[in-house]
């Protein structure tokens, strides 16, 4: 039986600090077809920016990445993820502090879970401190408010974008150039 193009489309949900950073990076990865900022991990009634920013909602800021696995693998996406954030800091990425900024990978099935755990084991060999990334089954993804969509693309000159996001984009570019 021949696989259809639709069979190649997968989703991965990642959190590693502010979702604006992850969205900007993964939008630029070949094989990624869509990136949507949002929340996961808490109650539906608290899935909004104000509640999540309070740090008391249980949600993490995440991105839902839709990708074509014939063009980019889950391992490649995870490698990028680990390169652009610090998976060894608990509930913190730079000045973004709180459980809503935790490092988290959500899986949809056992195959994804195995790939994630293998990638963490591989990444750990490169790091001095222990990886604290949470690995959880995806419970529910709640899209963020529209003003968070395409944030870097609309606000690239803003200080947060220049200080926090631009270096991650430069790291992605270097990783892409190193592969060639």
Q: Are 32 and 72 in contact, with CB atoms under 8 Å apart? A: yes
Q: Are 35 and 23 in contact, with CB atoms under 8 Å apart? A: yes
If we measure between CA atoms, which residue out of 32, 19, 15 comes closest to residue 72? 32
Find the mean pLDDT for residues 102-130: 96
Q: What is the pLDDT of residues 129-138, one digit of tens each?
A: 999 999 999 9
Catalytic residues: 18
Helical segments of the chain, H only: 19-26, 49-53, 74-84, 110-124, 151-155, 159-160, 166-179
Find the mean pLDDT for residues 78-87: 97
Tokens of 88: 């060894």
Tell me which of 23-37, 41-55, 153-167 is least confident: 41-55
Of the CATH numbers 3.60.21.10, 3.30.1060.10, 3.30.360.10, 3.40.50.620, which one belongs to the domain with range 7-179? 3.30.1060.10
């Amino acid at each position: 039986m021949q696989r259809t193009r639709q069979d190649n489309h997968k989703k991965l949900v990642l959190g590693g600090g502010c979702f604006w950073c992850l969205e900007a990076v993964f939008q630029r990865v070949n094989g990624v077809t869509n990136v949507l900022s949002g929340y996961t991990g808490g109650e539906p009634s608290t899935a909004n920016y104000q509640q999540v920013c309070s740090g008391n909602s249980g949600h993490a800021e995440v991105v839902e990445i839709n990708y074509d696995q014939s063009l980019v693998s889950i391992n490649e996406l995870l490698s990028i993820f680990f390169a652009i954030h610090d998976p060894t800091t608990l509930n913190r990425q730079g000045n973004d502090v709180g459980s809503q900024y935790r490092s988290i990978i959500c899986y949809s099935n056992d195959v994804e879970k195995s790939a994630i755990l293998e990638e963490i084991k591989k990444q750990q060999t490169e790091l001095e401190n222990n990886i604290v990334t949470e690995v959880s089954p995806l419970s529910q993804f709640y899209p963020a408010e529209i003003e968070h969509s395409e944030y870097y693309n609309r606000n690239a000159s803003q200080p947060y974008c220049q200080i926090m996001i631009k270096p991650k984009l430069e790291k992605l570019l270097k990783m892409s150039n190193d592969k060639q």
